[in-house]
Structure 1
Amino acid sequence: MTIRILPAVADPEAARAVAALTGRLPEAEPAAPAADSTTLLDTLGRLAAQGVDHLPEVVVVHQAIGPLPALELVREVALRHPAVGVVLLTADQGPAAYSAAMDAGARGVAGLPLSQAELDHRVRAAAAWATGVRRHLGAGDGATAGPGGTVVTVSGAKGGVGATTAAVQLALAARAAGHPTALADMDLQTGDVASYLDVRFRRSIADLAGIADLSPRVLDDAMFRHDSGLALLLCPAEGEQGETVTDRAARQIVTALRARYDTVVIDCGSQLTGAGAVAVEMADTALLVTTPDVVAVRAAKRTVRLWDRLRIRKPQETVTVVNRHTRHTEIQPALIERITGTRVARTAVPAGYKELQPCADSGRMHELDPRGAVRQALWSLAAETGLVPTDPR
């Protein structure tokens, strides 16, 4: 049996050593190492889209991988691609480190410096496990790559461009299509989801920040059940509490939401925080909302460049949504696409203050007129984004 191996090693010297050892394994077919966690997850995502049988049997994660810590990366791979066996390479071979790796979802731990015999044993065991899982899933019959819902983030190029309105309507469209849907407010200091949906709440995302193991029951206790059918995870009423939602906490929360709901829409606001950056990095689709004016488009360009520099999201993997669009606007979507280097959504959202204002003021955004141009455009965007199979208008 051929064992396809995808290493994830950041250090060039360590990558050469891992490549040399995996290349000597009998029946092994090692791929070029992924230099960081983002590249690894992107590669696995592309392969999974072609079918589970295109995925490698084994992923080897080096302890010094970044920017995502090794154990977090192991957890992400195990959750998104359960038919892939993960082997962690670490110099810490104590029982606590081994237990942590197993809890994260690793199928084996190999000590550093590596030995050929140990690597061979761990890789073969992980490959055998992956093969068994695929046989159980029936990969040849078109089984998917694994559990987990779709995560879409909505960020604003600047404040006031309509990101929250877009996030709310996208979530409502997904829910109307019959998908269990969560709407999370990760604009931690100034989020408006609760105001837009007239919600009075006690629990918030901050209540999940200090919990190491987010079980479905713990997550459900923090969610607000809205009359529209949406499950809401709201930002804290006191903005300073948002500081408790660290990068690590955000990653655990997004992972838990993905596992619990078919569709997860996250409002990230316009200010980049560690939690928001994690959400954008983890998202299947990252939307950036802008208006067709010079100030907002410049802000969108800065945001895209910032995400790229911080290795959060590549420009070509970001979808820009043009809000308050008119045919008479000097800055049209094609120009915004060239300026930002992103893909601009085919669906442009028209200006509609008269349509939006009464619902926004009353906190009844879920009652937006289905015949209105804004609501129709945003639900069409949901179809374009893949949140619903067809436009549910």
Structure 2
Amino acid sequence: MLSQRVTVLIADDMVELRSNVRRMLANQGNIEIVGECSDGEEALKIAKELSPHVILMDINMPKLDGLKATEILAKERPEIQVVIMSIQSEQEYFRRAMKAGGKDYLVKPFSASELIDTIQNVFNKWVKDRLELEKATSPKAFVFTFFSTKGGVGKTTLAVNLAVNLAMKGKKTLLIDCSLQFGDVACTLNLAPVKNLYTLIKKEDMDYQGLERSITQHSSGLHLLLAPAEPAFAEEIKAQNVKQVLELALPRYQFIIIDTPPHIGEVELAILDQTDLVLLTATLEISSLKNTKLVLKTFSDITFEKEKLKLILNKEIQNVGIDCKDIEAGLAIPIFATIPMDSETAQRSLNQGEPFVVKFPESALSNAIEKIVSQVSVDEKDPKKAIDDSVLFKLRRILFGAKT
């Protein structure tokens, strides 16, 4: 079933045929007849004025026949899809119709179901082809994924403030809360929306319009796709759903920030497969560093590029017996950024539901976020490098014992 209204123009010199088509489509709420005409010249004129999605074009009409009119439309208005109608069922007529630029062929007389199916199929194929072309030619968003091996390290706070920072710079940014059971992005920003990732995937219209309707906008200009309102709904969101959401969002944003749980499952693997940089967040606690080393080993066992792993040391405190150089040596990865310990600023920001980059723009925490943004050199005009297609499979094999 179509989720978008399809506009149709009927071009046929037989009044009875036009009346029959109107009758067949009368109860189709998602198909609207916007006009009708009786010759090819008028069909061209009305088509250019009304821009219908589909034209039902008779093959033989006065002044200008349907095939010639179709050829002209294919050159001048290729976005209009033409279905040729004819009493001729021979293959030669079908071949000529397709050569002229027709998208399908209806042999008269046809049934209501044949007509409706043809309109739907032609329109759906056009939508699919348009999306594929858009995906192939549009610049793709640069994707940051925040990951940590345990809760309480400040990962969500950093993700929110980085996303808000980018949005305030005029960058079209989407923050997705993929901590599906207990996501805190909405709470961090003092939001209580009804729409979220769960309401999106439960809709029939899993398209860009559906995505737009599921977005919550923050006062900074940041777009948010939030976690489900109830933990039980998380189980209904599958890896394929997340992949579809990212495919819809990638051509439409400059930056996508994804907050993930301290867990690697099928959903997280789908996210990693689309990620440009993993911002691995840890603290100076021994347990955090130990688990960080374990997850780094997991990444080292696959073809995920090491350059895409960036270690962020949060809540840094001097003179606690652990030196940054020792951490880098022990984890075999350089520290990409350090975030100073400033519990008062962070807590006041959280309690007021306002990011510290907004509430306390001159704070050490805000300066640290600004430094991260400046360190990540992203040329948005260059196509991003795709992660090896085998990453998802190899991760599944390592984590779940998938068979080769």
The TM tier, using the shorter chain, reads: 0.5 to 0.7
For 1:382, the equivalent position in structure 2 comes to: 373
2:229 corresponds to 1:237:
yes
Out of 352, 366, 385, the residue aligned to residue 342 of structure 2 is 352
Please identify the structure whose Cα radius of gyration is greater: 2
Matches within 5 A, 1:1-393: 146-210=138-202, 214-309=206-301, 311=302, 313-345=304-336, 347-365=337-355, 367-386=358-377
Q: CA deviation at 1:329?
A: 3.6
Give the Cα–Cα distance (whole angstroms) in 2 for the partners of residues 308 and 213 of structure 1. 39
Q: Residues 161-216 of structure 1: CA distance to partner in whole angstroms, max 9, x if unpaired?
A: 01001101110111121111111100111110000000011011112335677422
- Going from structure 1 to structure 2, the CA distance change for 1:267 and 1:106 (only over 3 Å counts) comes to closer
Instruction: For residue 146 of structure 1, report the CA deviation from its aligned partner.
Output: 4.7
Tell me how far apart the structure 2 counterparts of residues 168 and 106 of structure 1 sit (CA, whole Å): 30
Distance 1:150 1:245 in 2: 23
Which amino acid counterpart does residue 364 of structure 2 have in structure 1? A
Distance in 2 (CA, whole Å) between partners of 1:324 and 1:169 is 15
Report the Cα offset of residue 105 of structure 1. 9.6
Report the CA distance shift for 1:178/1:271 in structure 2 as closer, same or farther (over 3 A). same
**2:342 and 2:371 mapped to 1: Cα distance?**
16
Q: For 1:201, what is the secondary structure of its paired residue?
A: coil
Amino acid at match of 2:359: L
Q: Secondary structure, in 3 states, of the residue corresponding to 2:211?
A: helix
Using structure 1 for the length normalisation, give the TM-score: 0.59
Deviations 1:224-265 (A, max 9, x none): 011121111000010121112211111111222212211111
- Which residue is equivalent to 1:96? none
Identity %: 23
**Amino acid of the structure 1 residue aligned with 2:243:** R
CA distance in 2 between partners of 1:385 and 1:334 (Å):
22
SS at match of 1:378: helix
Give the secondary structure class of the aligned counterpart of 2:298.
Answer: helix
Query: How many residue pairs were aligned?
Result: 255
TM-score (norm. length: structure 2):
0.57
User: SS state of the match for residue 322, structure 1?
Assistant: strand
Instruction: Point out where structure 2 has 5 or more consecutive residues left out of the alignment.
Output: 1-123, 381-404
Aligned residue for 2:140, secondary structure, equals coil
Q: Structure 1 segments of 4 or more deviating over 6 A? A: 104-107
Q: Secondary structure at the match of 2:144?
A: strand
In the alignment, residue 222 of structure 2 is paired with which amino acid? L
What RMSD in Å do the two structures reach over aligned CA positions?
Answer: 3.1
Are the equivalent residues in 2 in contact too, given 1:285–1:385 (CA < 8 A)?
Answer: no
Which structure 1 residue ranges, 5 or more long, are not aligned? 1-98, 108-129, 134-143
Q: Deviations over 1:261-305 (max 9, x none)?
A: 111111113222322222123111111000022111011112222
Compared CA separation, residues 212 and 178, structure 1 to 2 (3 A): same
SS at match of 1:160: coil
